[in-house]
Amino acid sequence: MKFYKRTTVALFAALALATSCQKDLLDKVNPNQPTVENFWKTAADAQAGVTAAYSALQFPGTYARWIHFATDIRSDEGYSLSPWTDLANSTRFVQLDYDLEPIRVMWEDHYRGVFRCNQILANVPTIQMDATLQKTALAEAHFLRGLYYFNLVTHFGNVPLLLDPSTVRTTAPQATRAQGMDQVISDLQAAIADLPASNGVGHATKGSAQAILGRVYMQQHKWAEASALFTSIISSGKYSLVSSYLDNFT
């Protein structure tokens, strides 16, 4: 009887130990999957974050595809002959419906870009890195967030203004169009203050931010403010007209 009791106790102890080991295995952190806790530690992380924010410019809902249907093709410079009736109607201001893929994807992809910019602005200031590189990274994030929100406010009007890294949510309060444009102006002004006049290929410069802000002011009929920015760009001597008008569309 004592033998069976000892055997039973030993068996339960072994099972408890095995269960404990299994829990430890389940709690292991995947070294191949970055998280907020193990990322944003180095200058390389900061640069990777900036690259991710730029990569959102290549999403279908931003500049890879659908935004051109909402801008160029709606203007006097374009016309849609698409057999996709709903898409063609959207370019002629006949009907806009969230269920239409191009409209929905434009909304989603611009907010994906905003989220990436918010991650940079929240986390890069705490990284120990070269001060100039850090300042430029933050300025680029302000530029991109300003651009993404400029497109959102222009096309959707009253949109939620998410300015911090957000958790999963199903709803968010809307801001007015004026509040949205104020945020765009604030971001672009921050970018202008800290962006260099020259930057790496594919990166925003002070002139880039000035040009976008000039467009914002023109939309608001603030002609003097827009003129001052465009005059600054022209007089900088860093830009010139292209030799062929068609090159503006390539």
Domains of the chain: 13-249 (1.25.40.390)
Q: Where do the H-state alpha helices sit in the chain?
A: 2-26, 43-55, 67-70, 85-91, 101-123, 131-156, 177-194, 206-219, 223-235
The tens place of each residue's pLDDT in the chain, 250 residues long, gives 554 555 555 555 554 555 555 555 566 666 677 776 778 999 999 999 999 999 999 999 999 988 887 777 777 777 777 777 777 777 766 556 667 888 889 999 999 999 999 999 999 999 999 999 999 999 999 999 999 999 999 989 999 999 998 776 778 899 999 999 999 999 999 999 999 999 888 899 999 999 999 999 999 999 999 999 999 999 999 998 899 998 887 7
Q: How far is CA 242 from the centre of its chain?
A: 29
Half-sphere exposure of 131 (CA within 13 A, CB side): 0
DSSP class per residue in 167-212: PP-S--PPPPHHHHHHHHHHHHHHHHHHS-SS-STTS--HHHHHHH
CA dihedral 44, 119, 194, 202 (to 10 degrees): 60
From first CA to last CA, the distance across the chain in angstroms is 89
Predicted TM-score (pTM) of this structure: 0.82
